[in-house]
Amino acid sequence: MSTTPTAATATKASISELQRIASQVRRDIVRQVHGVQSGHPGGSLGCADYLTALYFNILRHDPANWDMDGRGQDLFFLSNGHISPVWYSVLARSGYFPVSELATFRKLNTRLQGHPTTHEGLPGVRMASGSLGQGLSVAIGAALAKKLNGDDRMVYTLHGDGELQEGQIWEAAMFAASKKVDNLISTVDYNGRQIDGDVEDVLSLGDLKAKWSAFGWDVLETEGNDMTALVATLNEAKGRTGKGKPVMILMRTEMGQGVDFMMNSHEWHGIAPNDQQLAAALAQLEETLGDY
């Protein structure tokens, strides 16, 4: 435990800086989940690069002056709230709250609830999520408010691929295209895995690109664990906003990315590493910003 420097947010981090931050974020993830022996490391590790790129390169935001309305700022909504460890790490490392608070994850009286919530007043979080399928609708509402307020900033969302089995997602998808909500960039964590196994076996999503295209979205595809490709795609997505269509990024990731024994399986969706497994995981992840 130490006073830990937060990564700079005022400037856009370079690709190599982003990679260094993401390594620390991955350490934060496995340490949070190990510390309480509870939580969801797999999806969190898979999305560490995305959230790092978003918060340290893409988003126009001001962590020091956070407020609920977020006028004049880009907004982010985590719809698949179970990957809270990665979000909490990135929020803390961006300066929304002290990094030392990561040690309270999922513990009694914490602001870092198992699934993210506004209820405890954690800066950076604007919506409760965890019950899946709701975040896209919320993001659309926030995007409409931005249009009504003459605010030209963007709204970003992240969803799990398994989450797309929820019907509300498709209600929202239909709405966003029909009403031309074009200040919205959504991303699907397309790791192909969910609690009960492979998405393909549990309930196939079919041709996901064709589905979103047919719903009227501008669809991009990227590799979510390749920082260079990811940043390029997010910038490409920004360039496609304001043209009458919502933008969807289908982001291929590997659940458990960065920790070899957590990869290539759905087994680490929602279980915590023991002491030996923690040590084995941390040995693969460079401590770049100092552990909390």
Partner 1 sequence: MEAYPVLDQKDTRSGFGAGLLELGRRNPNVVALCADLTGSLKMDAFKKEFPERFVQVGIAEANMMGIAAGLTIGGKIPFTGTFANFSTGRVYDQVRQSIAYAGKNVKICASHAGLTLGEDGATHQILEDIGLMRMLPGMAVVVPADFNQTKAATLAIAEHEGPVYLRFGRPKWPVFIPAEMPFQIGKAQVLVEGADVTLIACGHLVWNALKAAEELATRGVRAEVINMHTIKPLDEEAVIRSVTRTGCVVTCEEHNRHGGLGDAVAQALATHRPTPQEYVAVNDTFGESGTPDQLLKKYGLDTPDIVRAALQVLARK
Chain residues in the site for partner 1 (CB under 8 A): 68-71, 75, 117-119, 126-131, 133-146, 148-149, 151, 167-168, 171-172, 174-175, 178-179
Measured from the CB atom, the residue of 130 and 270 that comes closer to partner 1 is 130
Reported for 11-15, long-range contacts at CB under 8 A and 24+ positions apart, including other chains, are: 12/56, 12/57, 13/56, 13/57, 15/227, 15/228, 15/231
Q: Shortest distance, CB of residue 255 to partner 1, whole angstroms?
A: 24
Which residue number, 149 or 235, has a Cβ lying nearer to partner 1?
Answer: 149
Please give, one letter per residue, the 3-state secondary structure of 152-204.
Answer: CCCEEEEEECHHHHCHHHHHHHHHHHHCCCCCEEEEEEECCEECCEEHHHHHC
Q: How many CB atoms lie within 10 A of CB 244?
A: 11
Shortest distance, position 109 Cβ to partner 1, whole Å: 17
Closer residue to partner 1, CB minimum distance, 175 or 261: 175
Contact 34/8 with Cβ under 8 angstroms? no
Q: Which is nearer to partner 1, 136 or 230 (CB)?
A: 136
132 or 249, CB closer to partner 1? 132
Q: Which of 40, 133, 41 is nearest to 80 (CA)?
A: 133
To partner 1, the closest distance from the beta carbon of 212 in angstroms equals 16
Q: Provide, rounded to whole angstroms, the least separation between the CB of residue 153 and partner 1.
A: 10
Least CB distance from residue 171 to partner 1, whole Å?
4
